[in-house]
Amino acid sequence: MATSNWSPSSWTTKPIKQDVIYEDVQGVKDALSQLQRLPPLVTAREVNNLKNSLKKVALGQAFVLQGGDCAELFDYCNQGMIEAKLKLLLQMSLILIWGANKPVIRIARIAGQFAKPRSSPTETVNGVEMPSFRGDNINGFEATPESRKPDPGRLVSAYFHSAATLNYMRAALSSGLADLHSPMDWGLGHVIEPSIKDQYSKIVNSVQDALRFMRTVGIDKDRGVETADIYTSHEGLSLEYESSMTQMLKQPLKTETGVTVQSEPAWYATSGHFLWIGDRTRQLDGAHVEFFRGISNPIGIKIGPTMVADDLVRLLDVVNPNKEIGKVTLISRYGASKIAQYLPGHIAAVQASGHIPVWQCDPMHGNGKATPSGVKTRHFTDILSELKQALEIHRQAGSFLGGMHLELTGEAVTECVGGAAGLTEDGLGERYTTFCDPRLNEKQALELAFLVAGFYREESQI
């Protein structure tokens, strides 16, 4: 797929944003050398399965739900927190399947979402200037100059924490965590709102009725009702890490006669199934675009109010010159007050270009606010408003909103204001645990899924 002048390291010849300066040059070489010797975290077949699914999303035949932590910490690599995220995504996808009447592709921001872009490389804490926290794969959160010094050994730690997380994900899913025969075993946890529990129970009962019918007529033989695919994703910010884990791979394919053959080799970023370029690093002549244009993975591009429509088309031409359907997911993040101003023009430009991407709404990153005391939060009504506007704008343009991209957690955090539970700014301090941006908690995420499902139900009746 890559052109002859591309290699996993060709990005080093381009200007780079959000780069990390390491004092320990030899330590960087040693860490990257170790990463190059380690096995891939994902396979070419898994990546291509996701790519095929995203093609269906781009054509309006499926929906993609992507969600997880703003920034993972190494401490999040434990059974309880992994299961909580998986269960929440499974619950939400069941609700969305009911609402949109389409298959839902599940992608988690997990097993690699460690690095975070920052508006400033340094900050001042208690009168001491030090590097900003860049994510657990770069430096420590503790506000001391020593902790904040970039440590190349953390790149290797990121690999092993990703591997452990992914290993448990696969084991849990193959062991029945996602079994539709018993969806109530997913547990509603601390969700105490009667309306949410009642709606969820009705959907669960409908699914169980369908499964009982399948068993009765003898067609309940498919393991598809006992497990589910959940793919991994993260922002491809640390190019040293990503390029060290990029490999030339082949995929076993079966011909029409049943003979297994090997596909043509291609470059795959094996750190995760799906990687995206952030809004701060999507420069046409930049290092991140150079790296992303050569990998065979499906990729995402965050687009906000600063994206010029003509530049968006040029960017698509660079990373997807063959106009492969669904290869690129455009993740829009304008804010509820700005989406009507920018999204229609971006849709029109892409439609005229002949590209057919997945359109995904990120209603989180454009809706950040700060309380009078300086606490970062997001308002549930703004998040819901941007999603609803996106759905309506795409419908009016003859386009398809193929998914949503959320920062969420299965934990009972108090970071976003609003929702049926009525969380106010005064309650944010009860359990505000994020190390970066505020996330939806389980109650808010489930409520959002029900409301979006309701939008799609209404759409189908228009």
pLDDT 10s digits, 219-235: 655 555 566 899 999 99
pLDDT value at residue 258: 66
Q: For residue 247, count CB atoms less than 10 angstroms from its CB and return exposed for 0-12, middle for 13-18, buried for 19 or more.
A: middle
Question: Does some domain include residue 129?
Answer: yes
% of the chain exceeding 70 in pLDDT = 90
Residue 254 in this model has a pLDDT that exceeds 70: no
Question: Does some domain include residue 325?
Answer: yes
pLDDT value at residue 176: 82
pLDDT value at residue 3: 60
% of the chain exceeding 90 in pLDDT = 73
Domain that holds residue 403: 32-178+227-461
pLDDT value at residue 461: 61
Mean pLDDT of 363-392: 95
Question: Does some domain include residue 187?
Answer: no
In the chain, the amino acid numbered 164 is: A
Question: Does some domain include residue 97?
Answer: yes
Confidence label for 186 from pLDDT (cuts 50, 70 and 90): low
pLDDT value at residue 4: 65
CA 5 to chain centre: 30
Distance CA 211, CA 207 (A): 6
Q: 37 vs 25, 32, 285, 434, CA distance in Å?
A: 19, 9, 30, 33
70 known ligand binder: yes
Check if the beta carbon of residue 8 is closer than 8 Å to that of residue 133.
no
Across all residues in the chain, what is the average pLDDT? 90
- Other C-beta atoms lying within 10 Å of the C-beta of residue 458: 11
Distance CA 6, CA 243 (A): 12
Question: Does some domain include residue 394?
Answer: yes
The owner of tokens 């703003």 is 70
Mean pLDDT of 389-408: 96
Tens of pLDDT, residue by residue over 51-90, are: 999 999 999 999 999 999 999 999 999 999 999 999 899 8
Residue 319 is part of a domain; what is its CATH number?
Answer: 3.20.20.70
pLDDT value at residue 183: 57
Angle at 107 between CA 229 and CA 386, to 5 degrees: 140
109 known ligand binder: yes
Question: Does some domain include residue 9?
Answer: no
Confidence label for 205 from pLDDT (cuts 50, 70 and 90): confident
Question: Does some domain include residue 210?
Answer: no
Number of domains composing the chain = 1
407 known ligand binder: yes
DSSP one-letter string for 256-300: TTS-EEEPPPEEEETT-SEEEE-TTS--TTSHHHHHHTT--S-EE
Q: Which helix (H) or strand (E) holds 244?
A: helix 239-244
Question: Does some domain include residue 221?
Answer: no
333 known ligand binder: yes
Q: Which helix (H) or strand (E) holds 66?
A: strand 63-68
Q: Residues near 122 by Cβ (< 8 Å), separated by ≥ 6?
A: 129, 130, 131, 132
DSSP one-letter string for 73-126: -GGG-SHHHHHHHHHHHHHHHHHHHHHH-S-EEEEEEBSSTT----S-SEEEET
Confidence label for 189 from pLDDT (cuts 50, 70 and 90): low
Mean pLDDT of 93-113: 92
pLDDT value at residue 148: 96
Check if the beta carbon of residue 448 is closer than 8 Å to that of residue 440.
yes
Joined together, the tokens standing for residue 346 give: 């971006």
Least confident of 28-32, 138-142, 271-275, 440-444: 440-444
365 known ligand binder: yes
DSSP state, residue 221: -
